[in-house]
Amino acid sequence: MKALQDNLSLIIVGLIIVLAVYLFPTPNIDVDVNVEAPPAPTTQMCQSDEGGQDFTGGGTSNYTSTNNAFTGAVSMASTLSVTGATTLSGEVTMKEGSQVLAPTNIYSTTTLTAALSGTTYYLSASGTTITLPAVAEGLNFRFAINGAADSGNFIIDSSEGDNINGTLSVNNADVACSGEDQINFVTDGETIGDYVELRSDGTQWLIGDSGTETAAKMTCTDPS
């Protein structure tokens, strides 16, 4: 009799469980996990421009141009990287420090262009005249004696005239230059390593660093 009661109790418990599952089903729980991808670098396409464009995004922004033409002035606030063949038409003006070109020797009369800004010119053999380009902000050149001069002076001439200003260091003495046309390395006294740097602020040529070993062997003059 007791065994029958135990079996009956188990059956009743089973029925209660089945009924509970039927009447109170387990709710479905949806768990959404959102994983945000890191933001991609900002890219701005440069469109053709007729009146000039100033790209000064800075930071981590990238400005990308594919087969676009720019007919106005284009100003870059940071590094400009160019991949592949590139054609530059017209005069190119470089800000100071934007480029450094390989040094080159000059042996004959030469007229420099703005595109050559950043170049160091080595002078030796026969003296000659080197004419600077028209003033433009950021243009800079360096001239240095790297060998004996046979004859004649090396003359660095302003194309406008009367706009070379600053101070030359000649044999540890200051030589003031104001509204001059030319800077001259004087032959028969030049020393290898004598040099002068010129930079333009857009209205004049400013004398930067300079130095000669022998007195009176680098001068500034205004022949006109």
Per residue in 188-205, pLDDT (tens digit) is 888 999 999 999 999 999
What's the pLDDT at 86?
A: 65
| Cα–Cα separations (whole angstroms), residue 153 to 48, 71, 144, 171, 224 | 49, 42, 13, 18, 17
**In angstroms, how far is CA 10 from the centroid of its own chain?**
88
What's the pLDDT at 193?
A: 95
What's the pLDDT at 72?
A: 58
Q: Is residue 176 part of a domain?
A: yes
Which residue matches tokens 């676009």? 68
pTM: 0.58
What's the pLDDT at 59?
A: 42
The band of 42, judged by pLDDT with boundaries at 50, 70 and 90, is very low
> What whole-number percentage of the chain has pLDDT above 90?
46
Q: Is residue 100 part of a domain?
A: yes
Residue 23 has pLDDT above 60, yes or no: yes
Q: Is residue 203 part of a domain?
A: yes
Residue 46 has pLDDT above 50, yes or no: no
What's the pLDDT at 49?
A: 43
Mean pLDDT in residue range 5-33 = 62
Residue 89, classified by CB atoms within 10 Å of its CB into exposed (0-12), middle (13-18) or buried (19+), is exposed
In this structure, the strands spanning 43-45 and 140-149 are: unpaired
Residue 211 has pLDDT above 80, yes or no: yes
Q: Is residue 48 part of a domain?
A: no
* Total structural domains within the chain: 1
Q: Is residue 149 part of a domain?
A: yes
Mean of pLDDT over the chain: 77
Beta bridge partners of 64: 45
Q: Is residue 171 part of a domain?
A: yes
Q: Which domain holds residue 160?
A: 94-221
DSSP designation for 108: S
Q: Is residue 186 part of a domain?
A: yes
Q: Which pLDDT tens digit goes with each residue over 49-86? A: 444 455 544 443 455 555 666 555 566 555 566 666 66
What's the pLDDT at 15?
A: 72
Q: Is residue 71 part of a domain?
A: no
> What whole-number percentage of the chain has pLDDT above 70?
57
In this structure, the strands spanning 218-221 and 182-185 are: antiparallel
Q: Which pLDDT tens digit goes with each residue over 128-173? A: 999 999 999 999 999 999 998 888 999 999 999 999 999 999 999 9
